[in-house]
Amino acid sequence: MENFTFYSPTFFAFGKDTENEAGAYVKQFGGSKVLIHYGGSSAKKSGLLDRVKSSLEKEGVGYVELGGVMPNPRSGLVYKGIELCRQEKVDFILAVGGGSVIDSSKAIAVGVPYDGDFWDFYSGKTIEKALPVGTVLTIAAAGSEGSGDSVITKEEGMLKRGAGSNLIRPKFSILNPALTQTLPPYQTAAGITDIMAHLYERYLTNTKEVEVTDRMIEALLLTLKHEGPRVIADPDNYEARANIMWAGMIAHNNSCGVGRSQDWSSHDIEHELSALYDCAHGAGLAVTMPAVFRYTMEHDVMRFAQVAVRVWGVEMDFAHPEVTALEGIRAFQSFLIGLGMPKNFAELGAKEEDIPQLVKTLCYGNGRTGSIGGFTTLKEEDCTKIYQMMV
C-alpha cells in the first residue's frame, strides 16, 4: 500500500425528511446568507425547494436563488452565480440537486473569493479559498456530496474539466433516499452506472496487495448488483434507494481508493462524449467502460478475473483466466444493458466520424501531452481504437 492521507470531514444527515433540517445545518456550519443553487423545475414542482426555504426561514437564514443548472454543468451559469453571490453578500452555497448542481455550486464557491477567472482552478491552479458548501442530494450518482471534486464544462470548445480540493468538500450533505424515488428510470440507471464507474476506476490499480480496498470496492459493487435491478423494477423501493445512496457516497469519498494507484481513463474518455453530445455521464460510461476494460484487460488479467469471480459470480477458469476475465466484463455490460443503459455510439447519440476530434481533445486538451490513463497509458492510437470498439 502506498502512503496516503485521508480526510472526509463532511457531516452527513441521512434518511427520511432530513431536508427539513437544511436550515439548521447551514446555521451550524456558519452560513447567514445562502445561495440556493438548483437545476430544473422538478425541485420546485416536488415542493423540495419550498421545504428547504422554510427550513432556512425557520432559522432566520437569508437566501437568494439561482436555478437552471444543466446536466454537464456549464461555466456560463457559474459566472452568473459568482456575480450574484458577490452582489448579495452570500456566505454559504446550498446545492439542492444532483452532481451537476453540486459541482456548479463548488465552482461558484471557489470563484466568489477569487479575483481572477474561476476556470483557472479547472486548468490546474491550486484552490486556496472557497465559500462553504452544503448539499441536499436528489440523485445517487456523482458522489460529489462527499467528495472534494467538481467537473464543469466550458462552452467555448466544450471543454469538460475537473478541479479538486478538500476546501470544496461539502460541510454537510443531506441524503434523503425518498427524494430519488421520482427520478426517471434512465437517470436512476445512469446514476448507478456512475457509482460503479467510480468503483472500477479505483479497482483498476497497479498497486499490489491492497486487499482491504479491493474487498471494500467489491462489497459496493455487489450491493449495486443486488439493488440496481430492484430499484429499476420498483422505483418506490426506499430500502434499495437507501443502500444505493450510501454506496454512492462511500464509492467516491475515497475511503476505498486510498493507498493505491487509480485509473480514471473511462471517465476521461467519457467526458469527451458528454461534453460533445450532452449525453448523461452515466450513459456514456456504460458504453465506455466495457470497451476500455476489453482493451486494457491484458495488462492484468488476474485483476479482471478477480472481479469476475468475486462480484459477477463467474466460475474461475484456472486454465484460462482470460476467459473468466472476459466473462466478467460481459456480465457487467449485460447488467448495465439490463438497467436500460445504452451499449454503443448509436444508442448514445455519438458519431463515428467525430472520433478524430474526440481523440484530439482527449489527448491534447487541458495541458495533456498525447496520452491518458492510470492503469495503462493510452495514447492517441489506443484511444482511437477504444472509441471504435464503442461504435
Residue nearer to its own copies on the CB measure, 254 or 274 = 254
CB of 5 to its own copies, least distance (A): 5
CB of 166 to its own copies, least distance (A): 9
CA distances from 232 to 139, 244, 273, 295 (A): 14, 12, 25, 30
Look at strands 33-38 and 62-66 and give their pairing: parallel
CB of 16 to its own copies, least distance (A): 6
Residue nearer to its own copies on the CB measure, 10 or 153 = 10
CA distances from 287 to 173, 193, 241, 332, 333 (A): 30, 10, 24, 11, 8
Look at strands 149-154 and 133-137 and give their pairing: unpaired
Residue nearer to its own copies on the CB measure, 13 or 70 = 13
Residue nearer to its own copies on the CB measure, 16 or 379 = 16
CB of 47 to its own copies, least distance (A): 20
Contacting positions for its own copies (CB under 8 A): 1-16, 18, 177, 208-213, 215-216, 218-220, 222-223, 226-227, 239-240, 242-244, 246-247, 250, 255, 258-259
Residue nearer to its own copies on the CB measure, 248 or 282 = 248
CB of 248 to its own copies, least distance (A): 10
CB of 56 to its own copies, least distance (A): 19
Residue nearer to its own copies on the CB measure, 219 or 323 = 219
* Residue 322, φ and ψ in degrees, nearest 5: -65, -25
How far apart, in whole angstroms, are the C-alpha atoms of residue 87 and residue 104? 18
Element (H, E) at 106: helix 99-111
Residue nearer to its own copies on the CB measure, 200 or 246 = 246
How far apart, in whole angstroms, are the C-alpha atoms of residue 171 and residue 260? 26
Of 341, 345, 311, the C-alpha closest to 328 is 311
CB of 169 to its own copies, least distance (A): 10
Q: Count the Cβ atoms, other than its own, within 10 Å of residue 214.
A: 20
- The half-sphere exposure of 235 on its side-chain side, counting CA atoms within 13 A, is 13
Residue nearer to its own copies on the CB measure, 175 or 190 = 175
Residue nearer to its own copies on the CB measure, 20 or 344 = 20
CB of 32 to its own copies, least distance (A): 22
Residue nearer to its own copies on the CB measure, 224 or 280 = 224
What is the widest separation between alpha-carbon atoms in the chain? 68
**Contact present, 213 and 108 (Cβ < 8 Å):** no
Q: Count the Cβ atoms, other than its own, within 10 Å of residue 246.
A: 18
CB of 245 to its own copies, least distance (A): 9
CB-based contacts of 42-47 (< 8 A; 24+ apart in sequence)? 42/138, 42/182, 43/67, 43/96, 43/97, 43/138, 46/179, 46/182
Look at strands 149-154 and 159-164 and give their pairing: antiparallel
Residue with cell 481572477: 116
CB of 181 to its own copies, least distance (A): 14
